[in-house]
Amino acid sequence: MTYRTTDSATAILESLLGDEGAAEPYPLYERARALGPVLPAGDGTLLVTG
């Protein structure tokens, strides 16, 4: 499986784990899903959206 590399996945994940994500996570979920089903989010972490 090939993973799409993007710096945006890291930013989205950090936002989801912070105050912004706690307050309103759904726009962040939408942004992540637009990037693809599996995204590398730094340090071996994968953000799985679908």
Alpha helices, H only, 1-50: 7-16, 19-23, 26-35
Q: For residue 1, is it within any domain?
A: no
Instruction: Please say whether the beta carbons of 1 and 38 come within 8 A.
Output: yes
Q: For residue 2, is it within any domain?
A: no
Domain tally for the chain? Answer: 1
Report d(CA 16, CA 11) in Å as an integer.
Answer: 9
Taking the model in full, what pTM does it have? Answer: 0.75
Q: For residue 35, is it within any domain?
A: yes
Range of the domain at 18: 7-48
* Model pLDDT for residues 1-50, shown as the tens digit of each residue: 444 444 589 999 989 999 988 999 999 999 999 999 999 988 888 999 98
Per-residue pLDDT at 39 = 92
Could you give phi then psi for residue 46, rounded to 5 degrees? Answer: -115, 135
Instruction: Provide the 8-state DSSP code for 41.
Output: -
Q: For residue 41, is it within any domain?
A: yes
